[in-house]
Amino acid sequence: MDKNTITGMLLMCAVIFGYMYFFGPSEAEMAEQQRQQDSIAAVQQAAKAATPATAIDVLNADEVTQIKNLLTGMAGDSLHSGTIDRDGVHIHLDQGSLAGTIALADTTFAFDEALSATSPVPAKHNQAVAAVRKAVESYLKNGSFANCLTGTEQIVKLENDSLRLELSTKGGTISRAQLKAYKAFNAPMVEVFTPGENDYSFTLCNNTQRFETRDFYFTPERVSDSCVVMRLNLDGGATWALRYTLVPGSYMVRMEMVQNAMQSVIPININSVDLTWHQKMARHEEGKMFEERNSAIYYKYYGQGGDVEYTKESGNDEKDVRDKIKWISTKNQFFSAVLIADSLFNGAQLTSREFEKGSAEYQNYLKDMTIRTSLPYASDKTNPAAFYFYLGPNRYPTLSALDCYSPNEDLKLTRLIPLGWKLFRWINTGVIIPVFTWLGKFIGNYGIIILILTILLKIVLSPLTFKSYMSQAKMRILAPDIAAINEQYPDQEDAMKRQQKTMELYSLAGASPFGGCLPMLLQMPILIAMFTFFPSCIELRGQAFLWAKDLSAPDKIFEWTAQIPFITNYFGNHISLFCLLMTVTNIGYTYLTMQSQNQQQSMPGMKWMMYLMPLMFLVFFNNYASGLSYYYFISLLITIAQTYLCRAFVSEDKVRATIAANRDKPKKKSGFMARLEEAQRQQQAMLREQEKRKGAKGKGRR
């Protein structure tokens, strides 16, 4: 900043201060301004004081008459006292006059005060009058169902060897469903339904009104130890009810819609009833990741060939299903609630939401699910609709046995268990699960069952293992001959010839470069099938073996609380011992395999990649079921033992003799080899022709 700039800034400041001094208000002027402000404030205060008090709202004569008529009609029902009791408003008839109370959050009024034009607390008084109008409007809106808006919630219990139910008279629904044979990580029994977290409601409609059954108090009627009817007794003798029957020794509950004289309430032109089912799906497992990853809304399209579909298992999802549906289910890793219609559902709107991390619900719940659907209905039928509720485990034998409840349609409920794509699912359902279930009848320790199952699979696959080892042995013996061919034809122009000679060597020796890979590829579907089987196997849930407390969960031997970005999502915040043993064994097996494959010495990058794979498995398998890691660990140990047995019983001298004998035998060329050689000859001829043309062009230019 130069001298002139500084001088200019000082002059400007001097001018500003001088203006403020000479032209600012005097003390008298400042006093006058203050007097004016005080006067304005006084006027405003006086105006505020002169404002009339809040106007008092009262119920007029027409409203009082309307309430009396409503209560008189309700009193005609012998099952009710003729009262309005809703949201703190309690009104009844006393000697022909209205009486009762109106309870707000912090104040309670007598009903007479709602008729008075004076009140010490006008605002509260008006709130009370508004609450009365709202309650009366609700009763008028519900018409013939108004009698059922009041009552006291009662709990009715049903129980068999497998299932314990609580039915609530508020809404007439199953409010609690407990599975007696299964424990949750934080409760003595798994609850598929829990009060406040699960509810469903039917919506009945006439031409002008909608009636939500969740708003009504039902009258319970116990038919037997396993059957209860939840009934709504309506005006004019009409009744609408839900009859619940618990199937003995089963996880099935029969739910039937039963009604009488409903034509007076619901016109016969109404041909459907809506159903809304909401569930905050609670956690049952200590490890939330897999349980959340396997929770979704499942449904099956109506018809014998109907497919099973589901909402996305990760993230939020919404689906608008327009086609007819046979059953709908809310499903997590090991348990499901399935609603199976005797007839069908007319499509559905499905919503599945994850809870935000850090929210109060995130730790205790998996998903927030809502199902909206409708089904055929007729008010002149005694039994317009019926269902089965399956509330139980995702156990393959149990689910497959439920087809008997729908003789005309394959329910495909076993699709609730994720067992992989078609080939892998076929292996699981046709081989693994039957053997696993059969062994479970005789052996109580599932760690021993996994060991026996692994040994049986290895015995069945042993011919492939032996063939793979023999192919590797032949390739190892032929390695010097292959190297000699590569030295004889080193140039790129001789690649076709080099390949031809190599294939002739393989053919004469009875070897194949793919002989070792093909048997391993044939074993891969079983390995992948087991990968899908163990995390879904409910039989392993809660089963201890050695140090593992639960074979369906990771066997943690060390934990920490820190969250490592990316790694925690896959690896978790713990170390699983079976997974660690599997990784060490896998590295040992890789070393053993690399020793027997001399050709890998020229591929150091591939060698390190082979050693990197077990470490990658450690990261991804650390969070999986310990039963899966245990299976792979045992399988690798047996494979290593088989390799040493093959080395002990297979003499390389005999293999060399076999190769020599194969070379001396006349070989009939296969069609494939003949076509391959013909293609090679044609390609060589084309290359020679191209060389001639190039030479001719070069001479022409000279």
State how far the Cα of 301 lies from the Cα of 324, in Å rounded to an integer: 6
pLDDT digits (tens, 9 = 90+) for 255-283: 999 999 888 888 888 899 999 999 999 98
State how far the Cα of 301 lies from the Cα of 347, in Å rounded to an integer: 9
Least confident of 50-64, 104-118, 450-464: 50-64
Q: Decide which of 350 and 657 is more confident.
A: 350
pTM listed for this prediction: 0.73
Q: If pLDDT is split at 50, 70 and 90, which confidence band does 599 have?
A: very low
pLDDT digits (tens, 9 = 90+) for 603-650: 555 566 777 777 777 777 777 888 888 988 898 888 888 777 777 666
Least confident of 104-108, 436-440, 476-480, 568-572: 568-572
> Which residues sit opposite 351 in a β-bridge?
318, 370
Q: If pLDDT is split at 50, 70 and 90, which confidence band does 548 have?
A: confident
Q: Please check the confidence at residue 40 and state whether its pLDDT lies above 50.
A: no
Q: If pLDDT is split at 50, 70 and 90, which confidence band does 511 have?
A: low
Pairing of strands 155-159, 163-168: antiparallel
Q: List the one residue out of 538, 626, 627 whose CA is nearest residue 336.
A: 538
State how far the Cα of 373 lies from the Cα of 371, in Å rounded to an integer: 6
- The confidence score (pLDDT) of residue 582 equals 87
- The confidence score (pLDDT) of residue 201 equals 95
- The confidence score (pLDDT) of residue 209 equals 81
Rounded average pLDDT over 241-255: 94
| φ and ψ of 200, to 5 deg | -140, 155
404-425 burial by CB neighbour count: b if 16+ within 10 A, else e? ebbeebebbbbbbbbbbeeebb
CB-based contact 59:132 (threshold 8 Å): yes
Q: Decide which of 453 and 604 is more confident.
A: 453
pLDDT digits (tens, 9 = 90+) for 193-220: 999 899 999 999 887 788 899 999 999 9
- Most confident stretch, 423-437, 475-489, 565-579: 423-437
- The confidence score (pLDDT) of residue 626 equals 84
Q: Please check the confidence at residue 359 and state whether its pLDDT lies above 90.
A: no
Written as six digits, the tokens of 434 are 């039957």
Q: Please check the confidence at residue 342 and state whether its pLDDT lies above 60.
A: yes
pLDDT digits (tens, 9 = 90+) for 11-26: 565 545 554 555 455 5
Q: Which DSSP category does 388 fall into?
A: E
CB-based contact 60:114 (threshold 8 Å): no
Instruction: Determine the straight-line distance between the first and last CA of the chain, rounded to whole angstroms.
Output: 81
Residue type, 424: F
Least confident of 305-309, 342-346, 365-369, 481-485: 481-485
- The confidence score (pLDDT) of residue 158 equals 94
Residue 117: Cβ-neighbour burial (10 angstroms; 0-12, 13-18, 19+) = exposed
| φ and ψ of 207, to 5 deg | -75, -15
- Most confident stretch, 2-11, 540-549, 645-654: 540-549
Distant-in-sequence, close-in-space partners of 185: CB < 8 Å, separation ≥ 6: 283, 284, 285, 286
- The confidence score (pLDDT) of residue 242 equals 95
Rounded average pLDDT over 503-513: 64
Q: Please check the confidence at residue 686 and state whether its pLDDT lies above 90.
A: no
- The confidence score (pLDDT) of residue 48 equals 47
Q: If pLDDT is split at 50, 70 and 90, which confidence band does 584 have?
A: confident
Q: If pLDDT is split at 50, 70 and 90, which confidence band does 43 have?
A: very low
**Measured CA distances, 250 to 226, 329, 334 (Å):** 12, 18, 17
Which residue reads 């317009």 in tokens?
384
Q: Which DSSP category does 55 fall into?
A: P
Hey, what CATH topology would domain 155-418 get? Beta-galactosidase; Chain A, domain 5 (2.70.98)
CB-based contact 300:388 (threshold 8 Å): no
Distant-in-sequence, close-in-space partners of 231: CB < 8 Å, separation ≥ 6: 218, 219, 220, 221, 239, 240, 241
**Measured CA distances, 567 to 324, 331, 570 (Å):** 43, 28, 6
CB-based contact 282:414 (threshold 8 Å): no
Q: For the chain, which residues make up each domain, given as ranges?
A: 61-141, 155-418, 446-661, 668-702
Q: If pLDDT is split at 50, 70 and 90, which confidence band does 700 have?
A: low
State how far the Cα of 551 lies from the Cα of 677, in Å rounded to an integer: 55
Q: List the one residue out of 169, 176, 173, 174 whose CA is nearest residue 155.
A: 169
How many other C-beta atoms lie within 10 A of the C-beta of residue 44? 10
Q: If pLDDT is split at 50, 70 and 90, which confidence band does 442 have?
A: confident
